Amino acid sequence: DAGVIQSPRHEVTEMGQEVTLRCKPISGHDYLFWYRQTMMRGLELLIYFNNNVPIDDSGMPEDRFSAKMPNASFSTLKIQPSEPRDSAVYFCASSGTAKSNTGELFFGEGSRLTVL
């Protein structure tokens, strides 16, 4: 399996621009998570989905952030408008199958966002 695939790997944009990060989870996984990593705050859970349905979005910082999962193989995290404090590495992770969920998260390699 190719693992969790994220794009873009790096994004540099200017304040006020819209940013869209993309994720393809491991085929067959039922859960998809979006995490943000910064030096100051570590790894923060933003939102997670189960079977394409958002379950907990309490970590989404504000209305500028939105996430969707239109089907089992694709999710997006959108920031509009972006601000310099959104600069971070954004990770997508997936876990679990219908038959067995060990709890292990499989992370992508992350999308490093820089907002100037």
Partner 1 sequence: GENVEQHPSTLSVQEGDSAVIKCTYSDSASNYFPWYKQELGKGPQLIIDIRSNVGEKKDQRIAVTLNKTAKHFSLHITETQPEDSAVYFCALHTGTASKLTFGTGTRLQVTL
Under rule CB under 8 A, residue 107 binds partner 1? yes
d(CA 16, CA 75): 22
Under rule CB under 8 A, residue 12 binds partner 1? no
Q: Could you tell me if 18 and 84 are in contact, meaning their C-beta atoms sit under 8 angstroms apart?
A: no
Under rule CB under 8 A, residue 74 binds partner 1? no
In the complex, least distance from residue 107 CB atom to partner 1, rounded to whole angstroms: 3
Phi, then psi, of 86 in degrees rounded to 5: -80, -10
In the complex, least distance from residue 71 CB atom to partner 1, rounded to whole angstroms: 20
**Helices and strands: H and E segment counts in the chain:** 0, 11
Under rule CB under 8 A, residue 60 binds partner 1? no
Task: Give the sheet arrangement for strand 5-7, strand by strand.
Answer: 5-7, 19-24, 74-79, 65-71
In the complex, least distance from residue 64 CB atom to partner 1, rounded to whole angstroms: 22
The footprint of partner 1 (CB under 8 A) covers 4, 31, 33, 42-43, 45, 48, 50, 55-56, 91, 93, 95-96, 101, 103-105, 107-110
